[in-house]
Amino acid sequence: METDVAIALDLGGTQVRAALVRDGRVLARAAARTDLGGPEAVMRQFRALVAGIAPAGTPPPGAVGMCAPGPLDTVSGIVDHIPTLPGWDGFALRDHLSDTFGLPAVVENDGIAAAFGEWTHGAGRDLHHLVYVTVSTGIGGGVVVDGRLMHGARGMGGHVGHFTLAAEGPVCSCGRIGCFEAFAAGTAFGRRARAAADRDPASHLGRIAARETVEARHAVEGARAGDPACLALVAEEAAYLGSGFASLLHLYSPQMIVMGGGVSKAFDLLEPGIRARIERDAMPPFRAVPVRPAALADDAGLVGVAALARAATARTPRPPSRGS
Ligand SMILES: [Zn+2]
C-alpha cells in the first residue's frame, strides 16, 4: 500500500529509537536502551517499539528506514563492522528490516541520514550544496553536492570526522591519530575541561571536579557565567571546529555548513571563535560561507531516513524479494 508515512529507526550504541514520520514531521516516537544481546534481540526491540507507537487514525506506513553508526555498507545492506555494536558483523540488516515489517526498507549511515533530514526539512532547505556536521561524542555528518546526497562507493562517503586535522595529536575513536573528531568532538572538549580542572583545583571547574566528573557542558555553563578559564576552553573548542570546517569548505564548497549534535547547544558561544578561525584558515573565496545551527536537533536522522525510505519506495513500490 502506498502511504506517505514511514517508520524511522535509529540504531545507536546506547539507545534505539523508533518513530512514525510523515513529511518531515515526527507523529509518534519511542526509545529504549540498546539490547546488547545482538541483532536478533534488537530487531525484537524495534518491533515492540513500533507496535507501541501507532496513533489512532494514522495511515499504515509504506516504508521503513534505519540509520546506524558507520561505516555502514548501504549498497549491500549488510553490516560489515560497527565498533559500538559488537555481534552485528555480517548481519543482513536491510533484508531483516524488510522481513520484520513487511515493507520496503533502506539502511543509511546516521550522519548521511541526518544531513538528508536537515537538507529536506531543516536548516539547509532550498540549498544545492551543504555540509552537515554533528558534533557530540564523536563527529559525523554528510554532504549534499550539486543537489544530490553524496554516498560514495558502498555508501560510506562523507565521514567528516575522520580527516586528519594534524599529523600528531590525540588518538581518535577510530584508532587513528589526529582526526578532526579527536580534537573537536565533545569527548575531546570534556577531556580538556578535566585537564583544566586538574591544573587548578580552586577554579570553577576544579570545584566541580571535587564532586563529579567534569564534562564539556560544565565548561559551557562556566563560560556562560563568565568564568575566564571556561571561556578559554570554549575558544579552544571553537578554534578546532573552525579549522575543521575550513577544510570542509575547501573540499566541498558548500553554500552552508550546518552544525548539529550536543556541542551545538553552545553554538551561540562557539560561533565567534569558529568564524575567526575560518577567517584565518579558509582561502578568501570560502570565508563568507555561513555556519548555522541545525534545525531538527536529535530528530535529523529519523526525519532523514524516513524521507529516504519514502523516496526509495517511490522508485520500488514493492518489498524486495529475498534471495533474488
Ligand atoms: Zn578518526
* Banded model confidence at residue 323, pLDDT cuts 50, 70, 90: very low
* Banded model confidence at residue 313, pLDDT cuts 50, 70, 90: confident
Is residue 235 located within the same domain as residue 141? yes
Strand order from edge to edge, sheet including 63-68: 25-33, 15-22, 5-11, 63-68, 105-109
Question: What are the cell numbers at 233?
Answer: 576552553
Beta-bridge partners for 75 = none
What pLDDT shows up at residue 2?
54
Is residue 26 located within the same domain as residue 93? yes
What pLDDT shows up at residue 206?
98
3-state DSSP assignment of residue 237: helix
DSSP 191: H
Classify residue 115: in a domain, yes or no: no
CA of 83 to the centre of ligand 1 (A): 12
Is residue 88 located within the same domain as residue 143? no
Angle, vertex CA 129, rays to CA 124 and CA 134, nearest 5: 55
Is residue 152 located within the same domain as residue 58? no
Classify residue 140: in a domain, yes or no: yes
Q: What are phi and psi of 203, to 5 degrees?
A: -75, 175
Angle, helices 186-199 vs 216-224, to 10°: value is 70
Ligand 1 (single-atom ion) residues, CB below 5 Å: 162, 172, 174, 176, 179
What pLDDT shows up at residue 324?
39
CA distance 267 to 77: 35
- Say what the pTM is: 0.92
How distant, in Å, are the alpha carbons of 12, 33, 142, 198, 295 from that of 28? 19, 18, 26, 44, 19
CA of 179 to the centre of ligand 1 (A): 5
pLDDT tens for each residue of 74-105: 999 999 888 778 889 999 999 999 999 999 99
CA distance 173 to 170: 10
pLDDT tens for each residue of 192-228: 999 999 999 999 999 999 999 999 999 999 999 999 9
Domain that residue 68 falls in: 5-109+301-315
Classify residue 320: in a domain, yes or no: no
CA of 167 to the centre of ligand 1 (A): 12
CA distance 203 to 213: 15
19-43 average pLDDT score: 95
Is residue 311 located within the same domain as residue 194? no
Return the amino acid letter for 103: L
CATH number at residue 168: 3.30.420.40
CA of 92 to the centre of ligand 1 (A): 26
Angle, helices 228-252 vs 267-281, to 10°: value is 50
CA of 206 to the centre of ligand 1 (A): 30
Classify residue 118: in a domain, yes or no: no
Beta-bridge partners for 313 = none
CA of 313 to the centre of ligand 1 (A): 34
What pLDDT shows up at residue 80?
86
CA distance 76 to 95: 10
